[in-house]
Structure 1
Amino acid sequence: MTIAGKFNALVSTIVISVGLLVCGVSATHEFNAERERAFAQLEREVRSRYQIAYAMYLGDSQALSAALKPMLQTPVIGITAYSTQGDNRIVLGRSSDLAGFDEARGNTTSAETNLQSLNRDGTAAGVGLVSAFYPPGAELHLNLPVFSGVNPQSSVDTQAFVLAQSEVFAEGSRHVVGYLDFVVPQQQILLQVTPHLYRVFLISALFACVSMLFSAVFTRRITAPLARLARAAQELAEGRLEKPVQARGSGEISDIARIINGIFSGMSDYKTRMDVDHQLLSMKVEERTAQLSKRNQELNQAVKQVTQAKNRLRQFAYYDSLTSLPNRRLFTEQLSLLLRLAKRNEEQLALLFLDLDNFKRINDSLGHSAGDLLLREVGARLANCVRESDVVAHYSETSGKIGVSRLGGDEFTVVLNHVAGPEAAGVVAQRLLDALVEPMLIDGHELVVTPSVGIALAPDHADDVEGLLRCADTAMYHAKSTGKNSFLVYNNDMDAAGLDRLTLETDLRRAIERDELVLYYQPQVNTRTGAVEGAEALMRWRHPEQGLIPPFRFIPLAEEMGLINDMGDWAIREACMQVKRFREQGLLLPRVAVNVSALQFTPTFVRKVKDILEETGVDPSVLQLELTEGVVMGDTHASVKALSELREMGVSLSIDDFGTGYSSLSYLSRFPLTELKIDRSFVIAAENSAEDASLVIAIIAMARGLGLDVVVEGVETPEQYHFISEHGAHIIQGYLFSAPVPVDEFAELLKPWHFVRELQGLDGRARQVPGG
C-alpha cells in the first residue's frame, strides 16, 4: 500500500470510529431518554386518571378495564392490574410474562416503582440499547403502584374520592390501592428514536466523507512527486521508460531523479540491442503456446461432449425420463437375461404388471403436470418399498433382487427372481398395494391412487419375455375388472375372457359411427296429477350380433378407453333432439335427464353443453344433468364455477344416487343444485327396516328444507309407492309405472291421462308403511 493510501486509511479509520462512537453514544442517550420519557408519561397518566385509582379502590373490574383501555397504545402492548395482595384483577392486551406478583414487585417497597427487562422465554435481559436488538423480543415490565388519598378500609363517595385524590401528591398522605404492570417492547422505544438516529448517522457520514476527501487532496499534493518517481522507477525496471524523468520537488527528489535518469541512459543502448531479438523470440514462443493451448482446449471439450452425449444416450435409451426407472428396452433385456438364468438353474421367476386405476381421471381433472408428479411419486414409492425390505428373502437366496420398471403411461413392472411360487409373488404384490394406498399430496390435492396387479410366473405360464408380459397383462386386466386395487395370478381361462373383451372394445369404438347407440326413456310421474314431469334418458348399445347390451357392461369400458366424452356428448345431443321431435308431434316432455360421467365433467364440458343447446335449439330448462356425488366432490372450486355457469344457462342439475357415495351434506347448500334423487337401495331397505325408513323420511325432509325437488327412483311395489307419497315425495320413477322403453313406446306414455287410471287404482288400495 502506498504512503497516501496508508494515510488515507488511517484518517478513514479514525473518522469512521469517531462517527460510530458519536452515533452509539447519541443512540444510547436518546434511547435511555425516550425510555424514561415513556415511563414518566405512563406514571403521569396513571396519576392523572383518578378513575384508575377509584376503580381499584372499589374493586370494579369493568370500570378498571375501561379506564386502562386508553393507555393500551404504542408503545404499551399489555397491562396487568393487581390488587395490593397480588390478586390478578384484569389483563388488557398481552399479559405479563412474570411468574407472579412477588416476582413483578421484586425487592422494592410497596410505594416504589419496579422496572424489569425480560426476554420472551422469561429470562432477564438488559435495559440498554443493545437489548433492543439482541436477543430479539426483549420487553420492559414497569410495575407502578397506584395511590389513593383515601384509606382503602374506609368508604367514601366519588366526589370525596376525587377531592382526596387531587391532594394526594400535594400533601403526601397516600395509600397504595393496587399495582399496574405495563409491558413495553424495547424495539418500540427504539422505533421512537429512529428518526433522531438517522439524523446523527447522516451528519456523521457527511463529516466522514468531507474528512476523507480533504485527506485525499492533502496527501495527493504531498506524495504526487514521489508517486511520479515510483512510476518512473517501475517503468525503468520493466523497460517501459521512454524518456528521462523530470521531477519537481526538494533536493532528495531531484537526486533520485538524477539516479534514475543515469540508469535510464545506461540501459537505453542495451535495451535497443536486445529488443529486436527478444521480440522475435517472444512472438515464436507465444505462437506455439497459443496453438498448443487451443488444441488442448478443443480436445478436452470434445472428450467432455462425447462423455455427456454417451451418458445422455444411455439415459434416453434405458431409463424413463419421468421416473428415472428402467424403461421398456432395459426391462426387456434384463427380463430376458433373468429368464435364461432361471431356466438354467431350474428356478421360478415372477413378473408383476401394475396399472394405476382411474389415472386418466386425474390427468383430465388436474392436468398432465399433476399426473406426471403422481407417476414420479408412484415410482419412488415402489423403489423405496423394494429397497427398504427384502420381500423375497424368505423364498430365495440372498443374491435375489427385485427390479422395478416403468413401461410407459401408468404401467409399471416388478420382476422377482428365485421365487418359491405364486404365494411368494402374492406377498410382494400385497406389499406394493399397501405402499401405494397411502395418500399423496400433489399440487395441494390429497390423492389416493390404487393399482391393479397381474402376476405371471415363468416357466409355468410362459418362458419368453413377450409371453410373460402378455400373461401378466391379461391377469392385470382381470384384476381391474373384478374391482381394482387387487392382484390376480394368471390362469389359462383368462385368455378367452380377454379375447371377448378385446372384441367388445373393437366393436365399441365403431358403435357411434354405425349408429348402434340408442336411448331408452323411463318416465318420472307426478303422483298428484298423473302427468309425466320428466324422463331419464338411459343409454343402450344395440349390438348387431349380441343384441341389446346393458350399460353396466360397456360404460366402464368406455371410460377406460377414453370414449365416454364422445358418448356422453352424443347422449345429450340425442336427448335434446328427441324432445324437439316430441314437440313437433304435439307431445310435451317438460324435462329430460341425462347422466354425466365423472370423466366427462372436464373444463370444456360447459362449453359443449352450450354448443349442443344452441345447435338443437331447445330451451335449456328442458335439459337436466344428473351428476354423481363424485363429480361435484372432485375439485370443489372448479365444480362450483362450472355448475354455476350451467345454472345461469338454465340447465337443471340433479344429484343422482344420493347417499351412496361421499354422503356429504355440506355440498347440497354450496352447489347450485335443483333436484335430489334418492337411490332405489334406500327404497328397498325402507321396506324391511324402521331405521332405513326413517332415513328416507329424513332425506325427503332435508331436500324440501333446502328447496330441492325430490325424485325417488326404483319404486316397484304399491307399498313403496304409498310410503313415498305419504312422506312428501310426489315424483316417482320406477318399474311400478314403466321400465326404460324405446322412444316409440315412450311416446305412448306421454299422452295425457295415461297414468291417471293407474294412480286411481293404487290410491284405492290399503296403504302399508314400510318398516312398520
Structure 2
Amino acid sequence: MSIAGKFNALVISIVVSVGLLVCGLTSVREYRAERDRVFGELEQQVNGRHQIAYGLYRSNPSAVRSAVQPLLQSPVASIAVFTAQGSQVLALGSTEVLPTLPEARPGAASADISVLSLGAEGQSASSGLLGAFFPPGAAFHINVPAYAGVSPLDEVTPEAFVLAQSEAAVGSSRHVMGYIHFVVPQRTLLQQLLPQLTSILLACGLFGIVSIAFSAALTRRITAPLERLARAADDLAAGKLEKPVQTRGSGEIQDIARIINSVFSGMSEYKTQMDVDHQLLSMKVEERTAQLSKRNKELNKAVKQVTQVKNRLRQFAYYDSLTALPNRRLFTEQLSLLLRLAKRNEEQLALLFLDLDNFKRINDSLGHSAGDLLLREVGARLANCVRESDVVAHYSEANGKIGVSRLGGDEFTVVLNHVAGPEAAGVVAQRLLDALIEPMLIDGHELVVTPSVGIALAPDHAEDVEGLLRCADTAMYHAKAAGKNSYLIYDSEMDAAGLDRLTLETDLRRAMERDELVLYYQPQVNTRTGAVEGAEALMRWMHPEQGLIPPFRFIPLAEEMGLIGEMGDWAIREACMQVQRFREQGLVLPRVAVNVSALQFTPSFVRKVKDILEETAVDPSVLQLELTEGVVMGDTHASVNALSELREMGVSLSIDDFGTGYSSLSYLSRFPLTELKIDRSFVIAADKSEEDASLVIAIIAMARGLGLDVVAEGVETSEQYHFISEHGGTVIQGYLFSAPVPVDEFADLLRPWHFVRQLQDLDGNARQMPG
C-alpha cells in the first residue's frame, strides 16, 4: 500500500471511529433522557390523579381501573395495581405474567420508586441502550407508590379526602395507599427516538464524508514527492536505478533526494568492488564446501555410532546380557499388553513358568562359569522348541518372531497367546521338558538338567501380570515338590500350600529369637576300638505347633531368605559350647563336625570362626567343618587362602557328600583337607552294585594315598558295615549305630565302651579292648 493509501486509511478509520463514538454516546444520552422523561411523567400522572389513591382508599377496583386507564396512552405495555399490603387489585394491558410486589420492589423503601430492567423470561437485563436489543423483549418495570393525605384507617368524605390530598401535595404527611406497576418495553422507547437518532447518524455521516474528501486531497499533495522518492529507493535497492533522482518539493524532500543520489553513487563503486570480491569468494566457497563434505561424513559416522550405542543400551535395558533373551522388564511390559489384547478379544492366554531342578548343585560343583554356559544353552533350546505359531511374552515387535524370557537366575517364562485351553498349554510344556532332557556338554562334562514347569491361564486364574506370575510360580513349586521334571496347571487349592510356606517363612525368622533351633548329634564310631571319635552336629527346628521339623524343609528356605549365615554361626557356637559342657560332665567328645553352607562361606567366615573359638575357649582341633564341593570350587584362590587360614588355626576340614558333584578331583591335592566323607548314596548300594562297590574302594584308597581320614556315612546294615570294614574303612556314621539324637541321649553314647558289645555281635566274636 502507498503512503497516501496508508494515510487515507488512517484518517478514514479515525473519522469512522469518532463518528461511531459520537453517534453511540449521543444515542445513549438521548435514550437515557427519554427513559427518565417517561419515568417522571408516569410518576407525575400517578401523583396528579387523586382518583387512583381514592379508589385504593375505598378498595374500589372499578374506580381504580377508570383512573389508570388513561395512563395506557403513554408507552406502557401493561399496568398492575397493588394494595399497600401487596395483593394485586387489577392488571391492564397485554402482559400476562407480572412480578409480585416483593419481586418488583427488592430492597426499596415503601415511599420510594423502584425501577427494574427484566427480560421476557424474567432474567436481569441492561437498563441502557443495549437492553433495547438484547435480550429480546426486555422492559422496564416501574413501581410507583400512590399517596393519600389521610390514613387508611380513617373514615372521611370524598370532599375531605380531596382536601387532604391537596394538603399532602404541599408537604404535609402522606400515606401510601398502594402501588402502580408499569411495564415499559425498552424497544418502544427506542422507536420513539428513531427520528432523533436518524438525524444524528446523517449528520455524523456527512461530517465523515467531508473530512475524508479533504484528507484525500491534502494527502495527495503531501505524499506525491514522497512516492516518487520511495520508487527511486526501491529501484536503488533492486539495482535498477540508472541515473540520479530529480524531484521538486520542500527542503526535507530535497535532503532525501540528495541522500538517495549519494547512496546511488556509493552503490556504483561498491558494485565494482563486489565483482572483484565475488571471484575471491567463489574460491573460498569451493574450499569450504570440501570441508563441509568432510565434516558431513564425520557427522554421519558419529550418528551411526550413536545409533549403535542406543541399540546396545536398549539391549541392556530389555534383554538379559547372559542369554540375550528378554528380561523381566520387557517381559512385564509385553505380558501386560498381551493381557489387555486377550481381554479385549475375549481370548485365552497361558503363562509357563520354568525353574531348573538342582541348578544350585551344578553351580556349586562346576562353578558359576559353567552354570552360565548351561543357562545359555537352556535358553537356546527353549527358544528353538517353541513353535512359530506360539506368541511368546515380552517380544516387542509384532511380526511374530519367537523368544523366551529369563526373569533371573534359573527362571524362564514362555507366554502362549491364543491357546485353546489348558491341554494346549500342557502340550507345549511337555515339548519343553523333552527338549531339556537331552544331555548337554558343558566344559567337558555331560550334564542333564530338568525343569519344573508351572502353568497359569488368563483370565481363568488371573487377569494381571502380578497375579498370573504368582499363580504360575505357585504351580511350579508344586511341580517341583511333586518330583520335579514335570508340569502342573495352577489350581486354587495350591494357594493353601503357598500360605503354609509363607507361614513357615514367618516362623523361621522368629525361630532363633525364640530359641527354637536345637542340635542333634550322630556319632562317628571307630570300628576297631568301639570309641566315639566324633559326631556330626545336625540342626533341627523344634516348632511350637508343628513339632520337630527336619532340615530338608527349612534349610533351603533359610538359604533363600538369607538367614543361613546367622543360623550357621549359631550352630558352630552351640556345638563348641556343648563340647565344653560335656567336659564339665566328665565326658569327652574328641571332634564335632558342623555343616557349612555355600552361602555361609563368605570372606568374613574365617574371622567369625576365630571369634567363636575364642569366645567358647574350645581347642580348635575339636571343631571340624564339613564343606560341600561347591564351597571350595566357587573362587579357587580365595578358597585356598580361607581354608589354609582355618587349618593354621587348627580347625579340621572335611568334604561332605564326596563324589556326588561334578568337580575335578585335582582340588584334593590343592586344598588343605583332613577328611573325606563317602556319600550315603554310594554306601547303601556298595554290597549290591559292583560299580558302587568299586567307587567306594577307590575313594578309600585315594584318601589313604593323600593322607586323608575317611568316614562312611549312611551305614544301616551289617552287610554295609562288613564291606566298609573289609576294605579299610574304620570310622562309620549311620543308623546302624545310632540315629541323630538330642544332646541328652547323645551323652549316654559317650560313655566308655558303649558300642563294644554291638561291634562284637557284628564281628561274631569278642574283641579284646585295651585298658
Q: TM-score, normalised by structure 1?
A: 0.51
Q: Percent identity?
A: 90
**How far apart, CA to CA, are the structure 1 residues paired with 2:367 and 2:661?**
24
Secondary structure of the corresponding residue to residue 456 of structure 1:
strand
AA at the equivalent of 2:568: G
Alignment of 1:9-408 (within 5 A): 331-332=331-332, 334-343=334-343, 345-355=345-355, 389-391=388-390, 404-405=404-405
Secondary structure of the corresponding residue to residue 418 of structure 2:
strand
**How far apart, CA to CA, are the structure 2 residues paired with 1:736 and 1:701?**
24
Structure 1 608/356 Cα, relative in aligned 2: closer, same or farther at 3 Å?
farther
**How far apart, CA to CA, are the structure 1 residues paired with 2:366 and 2:761?**
53
**How far apart, CA to CA, are the structure 1 residues paired with 2:448 and 2:717?**
41
Q: 2:545 — aligned with what?
A: 545
1:542 Cα deviation after fit = 0.6
Q: 1:476 — aligned with what?
A: 476
**How far apart, CA to CA, are the structure 1 residues paired with 2:526 and 2:329?**
63
Secondary structure of the corresponding residue to residue 611 of structure 1:
helix
Structure 1 531/411 Cα, relative in aligned 2: closer, same or farther at 3 Å?
closer
Q: 1:583 — aligned with what?
A: 583
Q: 2:556 — aligned with what?
A: 556
Q: 2:505 — aligned with what?
A: 505
Per-residue CA distance 1:92-130 (angstroms, 9 max, x = gap)? xxxxxxxxxxxxxxxxxxxxxxxxxxxxxxxxxxxxxxx
AA at the equivalent of 1:673: L
1:427 Cα deviation after fit = 4.8
Q: 2:678 — aligned with what?
A: 678
**How far apart, CA to CA, are the structure 2 residues paired with 1:687 and 1:672?**
32
Structure 1 753/498 Cα, relative in aligned 2: closer, same or farther at 3 Å?
same
Could you tell me whether the CA contact under 8 Å between 2:365 and 2:630 is conserved in 1? no
**How far apart, CA to CA, are the structure 1 residues paired with 2:649 and 2:613?**
10
Could you tell me whether the CA contact under 8 Å between 2:593 and 2:625 is conserved in 1? yes
Per-residue CA distance 1:490-543 (angstroms, 9 max, x = gap)? 234422222222222222222222211111011112232222111111111111
Structure 1 368/764 Cα, relative in aligned 2: closer, same or farther at 3 Å?
closer
Q: 2:651 — aligned with what?
A: 651
Secondary structure of the corresponding residue to residue 686 of structure 1:
coil
Structure 1 314/718 Cα, relative in aligned 2: closer, same or farther at 3 Å?
closer
Structure 1 460/563 Cα, relative in aligned 2: closer, same or farther at 3 Å?
same
Q: 2:727 — aligned with what?
A: 727
Structure 1 355/753 Cα, relative in aligned 2: closer, same or farther at 3 Å?
closer
Could you tell me whether the CA contact under 8 Å between 2:536 and 2:592 is conserved in 1? yes
**How far apart, CA to CA, are the structure 2 residues paired with 1:512 and 1:409?**
29
Q: 1:453 — aligned with what?
A: 453
Secondary structure of the corresponding residue to residue 752 of structure 1:
coil
Structure 1 410/716 Cα, relative in aligned 2: closer, same or farther at 3 Å?
closer
**How far apart, CA to CA, are the structure 2 residues paired with 1:625 and 1:745?**
23
Per-residue CA distance 1:712-766 (angstroms, 9 max, x = gap)? 2233344443443343322222223222111112122222233334334444459
1:336 Cα deviation after fit = 4.4
Number of residue pairs the alignment of both structures matches: 484
1:628 Cα deviation after fit = 3.0
Could you tell me whether the CA contact under 8 Å between 2:516 and 2:542 is conserved in 1? yes
Q: 1:467 — aligned with what?
A: 467
1:415 Cα deviation after fit = 1.8
AA at the equivalent of 1:624: Q
Could you tell me whether the CA contact under 8 Å between 1:627 and 1:656 is conserved in 2? yes
Q: 2:120 — aligned with what?
A: none
AA at the equivalent of 1:606: V
Structure 1 637/390 Cα, relative in aligned 2: closer, same or farther at 3 Å?
farther
Secondary structure of the corresponding residue to residue 746 of structure 1:
helix
Could you tell me whether the CA contact under 8 Å between 1:678 and 1:711 is conserved in 2? yes
1:653 Cα deviation after fit = 1.7
Could you tell me whether the CA contact under 8 Å between 1:325 and 1:404 is conserved in 2? yes
Q: 2:525 — aligned with what?
A: 525
Secondary structure of the corresponding residue to residue 688 of structure 1:
coil
1:400 Cα deviation after fit = 6.5
Could you tell me whether the CA contact under 8 Å between 1:352 and 1:455 is conserved in 2? yes
**How far apart, CA to CA, are the structure 1 residues paired with 2:691 and 2:446?**
34
Could you tell me whether the CA contact under 8 Å between 1:402 and 1:417 is conserved in 2? no
What is the Cα-based RMSD across aligned positions, in Å? 5.3
Structure 1 376/689 Cα, relative in aligned 2: closer, same or farther at 3 Å?
closer
Per-residue CA distance 1:649-692 (angstroms, 9 max, x = gap)? 22212222333334854443343322222233434323435665
Could you tell me whether the CA contact under 8 Å between 1:523 and 1:733 is conserved in 2? yes
Could you tell me whether the CA contact under 8 Å between 1:478 and 1:488 is conserved in 2? yes
**How far apart, CA to CA, are the structure 1 residues paired with 2:537 and 2:584?**
19
Structure 1 659/465 Cα, relative in aligned 2: closer, same or farther at 3 Å?
closer
Could you tell me whether the CA contact under 8 Å between 1:401 and 1:417 is conserved in 2? no
**How far apart, CA to CA, are the structure 1 residues paired with 2:431 and 2:738?**
49
Alignment of 1:413-492 (within 5 A): 413-429=413-429, 452-482=452-482, 487-492=487-492
Q: 1:599 — aligned with what?
A: 599
1:587 Cα deviation after fit = 1.7
Q: 1:81 — aligned with what?
A: none
**How far apart, CA to CA, are the structure 2 residues paired with 1:723 and 1:433?**
40
**How far apart, CA to CA, are the structure 2 residues paired with 1:721 and 1:369?**
40
Q: 2:736 — aligned with what?
A: 736
Per-residue CA distance 1:551-583 (angstroms, 9 max, x = gap)? 122222222333222222221121112112222
Could you tell me whether the CA contact under 8 Å between 1:402 and 1:415 is conserved in 2? no
> Larger deviation: 447-456 or 523-532?
447-456
Could you tell me whether the CA contact under 8 Å between 2:363 and 2:630 is conserved in 1? no
Could you tell me whether the CA contact under 8 Å between 1:474 and 1:498 is conserved in 2? yes
Could you tell me whether the CA contact under 8 Å between 1:401 and 1:416 is conserved in 2? no
Structure 1 425/595 Cα, relative in aligned 2: closer, same or farther at 3 Å?
same
Secondary structure of the corresponding residue to residue 716 of structure 2:
coil
Per-residue CA distance 1:269-325 (angstroms, 9 max, x = gap)? x999x99xxxxxxxxxxxxxxxxxxxxxxxxxxxxxxx99x9999999988899887
Could you tell me whether the CA contact under 8 Å between 1:364 and 1:602 is conserved in 2? no
Alignment of 1:607-646 (within 5 A): 607-646=607-646
**How far apart, CA to CA, are the structure 2 residues paired with 1:377 and 1:692?**
31
**How far apart, CA to CA, are the structure 2 residues paired with 1:628 and 1:324?**
32
**How far apart, CA to CA, are the structure 1 residues paired with 2:722 and 2:402?**
63
**How far apart, CA to CA, are the structure 2 residues paired with 1:410 and 1:524?**
38
**How far apart, CA to CA, are the structure 2 residues paired with 1:657 and 1:760?**
29
AA at the equivalent of 1:503: T
Could you tell me whether the CA contact under 8 Å between 1:455 and 1:489 is conserved in 2? yes
AA at the equivalent of 2:508: L
Per-residue CA distance 1:15-50 (angstroms, 9 max, x = gap)? xxxxxxxxxxxxxxxxxxxxxxxxxxxxxxxxxxxx
Could you tell me whether the CA contact under 8 Å between 1:624 and 1:652 is conserved in 2? yes
Secondary structure of the corresponding residue to residue 529 of structure 1:
coil
Could you tell me whether the CA contact under 8 Å between 2:655 and 2:675 is conserved in 1? yes
Q: 1:140 — aligned with what?
A: none
Per-residue CA distance 1:600-624 (angstroms, 9 max, x = gap)? 3344433332332233222211111
Structure 1 459/607 Cα, relative in aligned 2: closer, same or farther at 3 Å?
same
| Higher Rg of the two aligned structures | 2
**How far apart, CA to CA, are the structure 1 residues paired with 2:607 and 2:711?**
28
Per-residue CA distance 1:388-447 (angstroms, 9 max, x = gap)? x55579xxxx987756556567654332111234454345446666888887999x9999
> Larger deviation: 709-718 or 525-534?
709-718
Could you tell me whether the CA contact under 8 Å between 2:368 and 2:634 is conserved in 1? no
For structure 2, the 5+ residue unaligned runs are 1-267, 274-306, 393-397
Structure 1 332/727 Cα, relative in aligned 2: closer, same or farther at 3 Å?
closer
Secondary structure of the corresponding residue to residue 515 of structure 1:
coil
Secondary structure of the corresponding residue to residue 505 of structure 2:
helix
